[in-house]
Amino acid sequence: MHFRQVRSVLFVVSILACAAAAAPALAAEPVDPQAIAEASGAKPTVADDGVVRIGWSRQDVEVTVDGMVLPPAAGLGSWAAFTATDAGAMVMGDTVVFQDEVDAAMDAAFAHGLEVTGLHNHFFYDSPKVYFMHIGGMGEPEPLAAGVKAVWEAIRAVRAARPQPASGFGGDTPVPGELDPDALAEIVGHPAPVEGGVAKITIGREGRMHGQPIAASMGLTTWAAFSGSDALAAIDGDFIMTADEVQPVLRALRKAGLHVVALHNHMTGEQPAFYFTHFWGKGPAAELARGFRSALDAQAAAADVAASRAAH
pLDDT tens digits for range 288-303: 999 999 999 999 999 9
Across 23-37, 48-62, 221-235, least confident range: 23-37
DSSP assignment letter at 197: T
Enumerate domains of the chain plus CATH numbers.
33-161 (3.30.70), 181-311 (3.30.70)
Per-residue confidence band for 58, with pLDDT thresholds at 50, 70 and 90? very high
CB 101 within 8 A of CB 161: no
pLDDT tens digits for range 140-156: 999 999 999 999 999 99
Average pLDDT over residues 228-253: 98
Distance from the Cα of residue 171 to its chain's centroid: 26
pLDDT of residue 12: 40
pLDDT tens digits for range 176-186: 999 999 999 99
Report the amino acid identity of residue 53.
R
Select from 124, 153, 183 the least CA-distant residue to 192. 183
Average pLDDT over residues 199-219: 97
pLDDT of residue 23: 43
Per-residue confidence band for 28, with pLDDT thresholds at 50, 70 and 90? confident
pLDDT tens digits for range 248-287: 999 999 999 999 999 999 999 999 999 999 999 999 999 9
Across 75-84, 88-97, 107-116, 302-311, least confident range: 302-311
Specify the pTM.
0.89
pLDDT of residue 26: 53
pLDDT of residue 14: 47
CB 78 within 8 A of CB 95: yes
Helix (H, G, I), strand (E, B) or coil at 154: helix
